[in-house]
Amino acid sequence: MDYFLTEEQVMIRDLARQVSEDKVMPIRAELDEKEEFPWDIMKTLAQSDFFGINISEQYGGLGMGGFELTLAIEELSKACLGVSTTFAANSLGTYPLLLQGSDEQKKKYLPDIASGRKLVAFGLTEANAGSDAAGVQTTAKLEGNEYVLNGTKQWITNGGDAEIYTVIAITNKAKGARGASAFIVDKGTPGFSFGKKENKLGIRASSTRELIFENCRIPKENLIGKEGLGFIIAMKTLDKSRTGVGAQGVGVAQGAFEAAADFAKERHQFGVPIISIQAVQHMLADMATQIEAARALVYAVAKFIDTGSKDVAKESAMAKLFATDVAMKVTVDAVQVMGGSGYMREYPVEKMMRDAKILQIYEGTNQIQRNVIGQALIKETAKR
């Protein structure tokens, strides 16, 4: 379907597609197998300005919006979710700075982020905090001109490979969620180390590690916004980034659909290509319809967020929920259409199916997305 993209948006989509086809597709199986961090691809994306899409021009970015970013994420996800997760986690980690960073913080960090010289990671989840974001136990205590961080973040995408970390920690336990604050921590700060790299079902090209803070001292200036804003910053960050996860869903589903449709054209049974068998056709028809519906929703919500609207939690949750459920269903069906071949590692769809599962889990499980939507509905109903 034609979404009437501008010339610049087409340029972003096409270049992302070119990177995917030339640089990602040839090595995605190997990255998955070896669980290898895609440094070369990140360098290509950096050189091609992808890291600066939604960072303003004064900091070396392109000054575009979240919608343009979703276009790039969708194309990369068509080829490999591990790669697109590595890329997209940067914008997740950058949103706290874009939302509440001071001019000095922006000047210090955004040029390195926009140029791709430094990767970024976002640290919220802990052993006892994730879906319950208010359960954060990592603490930050002000001592003179420094905050002292103690605690452990887990399952942090780009952990260990990123240079810049935006981290949520508790500055005032008594205040609960309102006692959380957001900080910037540079890799290499004494007292800041990493756990072992996790061994995952999917998105194996992306790295996942613990962030360990043991009396880690950071300058007072690394506080983002004000004390107590941490929880709000985290929620606003997730509101912004969820369409990116939705775009990942659309991309991986499209990739799996195309592989399945191409296969169905070639594979013959009962003397005909299986694409002409109605049972297969109907599966493909459902897959294509669901993908288009997901894409339309993700694009619409991304554009809505770019208008600067204040409350976007419900819509962004809807985009993430719907598109990632579609991704799971379509990738499973793609394996089914391809039968035995689909189950083999020679073909890309089994990887896509393994990869897709994370989309229903990270950046808020799809159950949490339903909570977000439900809460918004209660508020809306109360207003009527």
Which C-beta is closer to another protein: that of 80 or that of 168?
A: 80
6 binds another protein (CB under 8 A): no
Out of 36, 292, 363, 380, the active site residue is 363
286 binds another protein (CB under 8 A): no
d(CA 117, CA 373): 37
62 binds another protein (CB under 8 A): yes
21 binds another protein (CB under 8 A): no
Stretch that binds another protein, among 46-54, 177-185, 249-257, 356-364 (CB under 8 A): 46-54
Residue 216's φ and ψ, nearest 5 degrees, are: -85, 115
**Chosen residue from 8, 33, 214, 266 binding another protein by CB under 8 A:** 8
d(CA 223, CA 251): 35
Q: Least CB distance from residue 285 to another protein, whole Å?
A: 32
- Per the annotation, the verdict on 35 as an active-site residue is no
Q: Least CB distance from residue 48 to another protein, whole Å?
A: 5
SS3 content of the chain, % helix, strand, coil (to 5): 60, 15, 25
Which C-beta is closer to another protein: that of 70 or that of 324?
A: 70
19 binds another protein (CB under 8 A): yes
d(CA 36, CA 15): 24
Query: What is the separation of C-alpha 57 from the centre of its chain, rounded to a whole number of angstroms?
Result: 23
**Chosen residue from 1, 2, 4, 7 binding another protein by CB under 8 A:** 7
**Chosen residue from 32, 37, 42, 50 binding another protein by CB under 8 A:** 50
d(CA 350, CA 359): 15
> What's the DSSP call for residue 267?
-
CA neighbor of 216 nearest in space, from 236, 246, 186, 244:
186
Q: Least CB distance from residue 124 to another protein, whole Å?
A: 30
Which residue type is seen at 131? S
d(CA 377, CA 64): 31
Give the contact letters, 205-224, x = binds to another protein (CB under 8 A), - = no. --------------------
Q: Least CB distance from residue 14 to another protein, whole Å?
A: 9
Which residue type is seen at 295? R
30 binds another protein (CB under 8 A): no
Stretch that binds another protein, among 11-19, 257-265, 313-321, 365-373 (CB under 8 A): 11-19
Stretch that binds another protein, among 10-18, 128-136, 311-319, 321-329 (CB under 8 A): 10-18
Site for another protein in 221-250 (CB under 8 A): none
Q: How many residues of this chain bind another protein (CB under 8 A)? A: 16
Beta-bridge partner residues of 181:
169
Which C-beta is closer to another protein: that of 113 or that of 287?
A: 113
Contact 221, 202 (CB under 8 A): no
Which residue type is seen at 46? A
Q: Least CB distance from residue 49 to another protein, whole Å?
A: 4
Stated length of the chain:
384
Contact 91, 328 (CB under 8 A): no
Structure tokens at 267: 């594979």
d(CA 328, CA 163): 32
Q: Least CB distance from residue 45 to another protein, whole Å?
A: 9
What pairing do the DSSP bridges indicate for beta strands 268-269 and 146-157? unpaired
Which C-beta is closer to another protein: that of 116 or that of 159?
A: 116
- Helix spans in the chain (H): 7-19, 28-34, 39-47, 66-79, 81-100, 103-114, 230-266, 278-306, 313-343, 349-356, 366-383
**Chosen residue from 5, 25, 35, 48 binding another protein by CB under 8 A:** 48
User: Looking at the annotation, which residues are catalytic?
Assistant: 363
Site for another protein, rule CB under 8 A? 7-8, 11-12, 15, 18-19, 22-23, 44, 47-50, 53, 62
